[in-house]
Amino acid sequence: MKKEKPILFTGIRPTGEVHIANLLAAIYPAVKAQDDYEEYLCIVDLHAITTPYNPEDMSQAIKEVAVDYLAAGINPDKVVLFVQSHIPYHTELMWLLNTITSVGELQRMTQYKEFKSRYKDAKAGILNYPVLMAADILLYKAKYVPVGEDQMQHLELARDIAKRFNQTFKKEVFPIPELAKLTEKPLRIKALNNPKNKMSKSLGPKSYIAIADDPDTIRRKISSAVTDTGPSQDTEKMSAGVANLFLLLRLTADEKTYNHMEEHYKNKTLKYVELKAVLAESIIDFLKPIQEKREELLDNIDYVAKVLSEGREKAYHKAGQVIKEVKEVMGLL
Ligand code: ATP
Ligand code: MG
């Protein structure tokens, strides 16, 4: 008998260029796990429209996220790669889950508070974002969710909503989702130009290294990354900016290079220009194969559209079964 695979869900907002933190926190874990998990990888356009955007750019942004997933090594024969708004059940389940979610718990979310202060007149979509995210995950009965540290609070809420649903309607409809144990701990890569914030598409290109950045752009961005005045004489503790560069080095370079730089730092002989030069080359090498594949896919965009259309069929089928079960236990069928 065929053994059932554990189910994994993850999403990326088509809000601009996909960057190295998206790659390391969400895309790579899915690539590594694609043989062993049943995967639903979603381009979450309904989340993207909760912050200001240009409708004319959306269709291209969606295709580019698909290109990035594929270029990073996702095999569309093994996973379901699809666009959130193609499956109307996401918003339907969101409404149903809204009825068991309290306004207070949504108002306590850090991302809501951040977006509210960044975009002033914040819309209800931002408040309800985590309910849609819970719906995204639960609609496929996903148990494992690779996300960055910034989404852990939302994942925690999705767990609460799943438990509450099962209790309220007295049936174990949803598994309780958790962080996919594919990274050692939730990743938080900081913005290069301001390490107080996380690297983000919405903070602009200076905050991130895009998957598509050419070598000179990468060198320039890394060389202007915020550090400090030099390894301190009286403390071992790295400043946030330097720790962030070391984190990127650990994730992209070989162990020997990393250890060498760390040794240097400990001996207080490291010059940050040197660290930055080594890091820039390591990121360039790390991204090179993905960039080559990216170019091929961009020249073959009809293939990418076909992948998304096939993904839509498969996602629709699975989500349709789950929404039916949900409506049954809620007395709606
Ligand atoms: P935006 O600013 O538009 O929200 P973003 O850079 O935050 O874009 P998302 O599409 O919202 O990217 O997130 C996609 C995935 O990447 C999520 O799993 C998120 O947790 C992860 N992620 C985003 N930024 C970081 C980061 N700086 N470090 C680690 N993971 C991150
Ligand atoms: Mg985000």
Question: 240-252 vs 272-298: helix axis angle to the nearest 10?
Answer: 50
Pair 133, 97: CB distance under 8 Å: no
Q: Report pLDDT for 3.
A: 77
326: its two tokens: 């949900």
Q: Report yes or no: 70 and 293 within 8 Å, Cβ to Cβ.
A: yes
pLDDT, residue 237, reads: 77
Higher pLDDT, 165 or 228: 165
Q: Is the pLDDT of residue 234 over 80?
A: no
Cβ of 47 less than 6 Å from ligand 1: no
CA of 88 to the centre of ligand 1 (A): 24
Specify whether the CB–CB gap between 169 and 330 falls below 8 A: yes
CB distance 139 to ligand 1 below 6 Å: no
Query: Residue 322: which pLDDT band, with cuts at 50, 70 and 90?
Result: very high
CB 160 within 8 A of CB 127: no
Question: Minimum-distance ligand to the CA of 24?
Answer: 1
Instruction: Please state which of the ranges 34-38, 119-123, 278-282 shows the lowest mean pLDDT.
Output: 119-123
pLDDT for res 121 = 83
Nearest atom in ligand 1 to the alpha carbon of residue 16 is: 3
Rounded-to-integer distance, Cα 22 and Cα 153, Å: 17
> pLDDT category, 231, cuts 50, 70, 90?
low
Q: Is 201 in the pocket of ligand 1 (CB under 6 A)?
A: yes
pLDDT of residue 113: 93
What is the DSSP secondary structure assignment for residue 191, as one 8-state letter? P
User: Between these two residues, 76 and 180, which has the higher pLDDT value?
Assistant: 76
pLDDT category at 235 given cuts 50, 70, 90 is low
Token digits of residue 82: 């699809």
Q: Which of 187, 167, 163 is nearest to 177 (CA)?
A: 163
Report, as an integer, the average pLDDT of 285-303.
Answer: 98
For a ligand 1 pocket test, name from 54, 64, 200, 211 the mutation site with the most ligand atoms within 8 angstroms of its C-beta. Answer: 200
d(CA 57, CA 273): 37
Q: Flag whether pLDDT at 282 surpasses 80.
A: yes
Coil vs helix vs strand at 135? helix
Q: What angle do CA 45, 83, 14 make, to 5 degrees?
A: 35
Q: Comparing C-alpha atoms, which of 69, 46, 73, 54 is closest to residue 16?
A: 54
**pLDDT tens digits along 76-118:** 999 999 999 999 999 999 999 999 999 999 999 999 999 888 8
Helix, coil or strand: residue 35: coil
> Ligand 1 pocket, 137 CB below 6 A?
no
User: How far out from the chain centre does Cα 177 lie?
Assistant: 16
User: How far apart are the C-alpha atoms of 173 and 150, rounded to whole Å?
Assistant: 27
Quick one: pLDDT at residue 232? 60
- Ligand 2: centre distance to CA 324 (Å): 30
Closest residue by Cα to residue 20 from 311, 287, 299: 287
Closest ligand 1 atom to Cα of 203: 2
Q: What percent of the chain has pLDDT over 90?
A: 89
pLDDT for residue 122 is more than 90: no
Q: Could you tell me which residues come within 8 angstroms of residue 23 by beta carbon, excluding any fewer than 6 positions away?
A: 68, 72, 211, 290
Closest ligand 1 atom to 15 CA: 3
φ, ψ of residue 43 in degrees (nearest 5)? -95, 105
Scanning the structure block, which residue is given the tokens 């099962």? 166
* Res. 230: pLDDT tops 70: no
Q: Is 297 in contact with 211 (CB distance < 8 Å)?
A: no
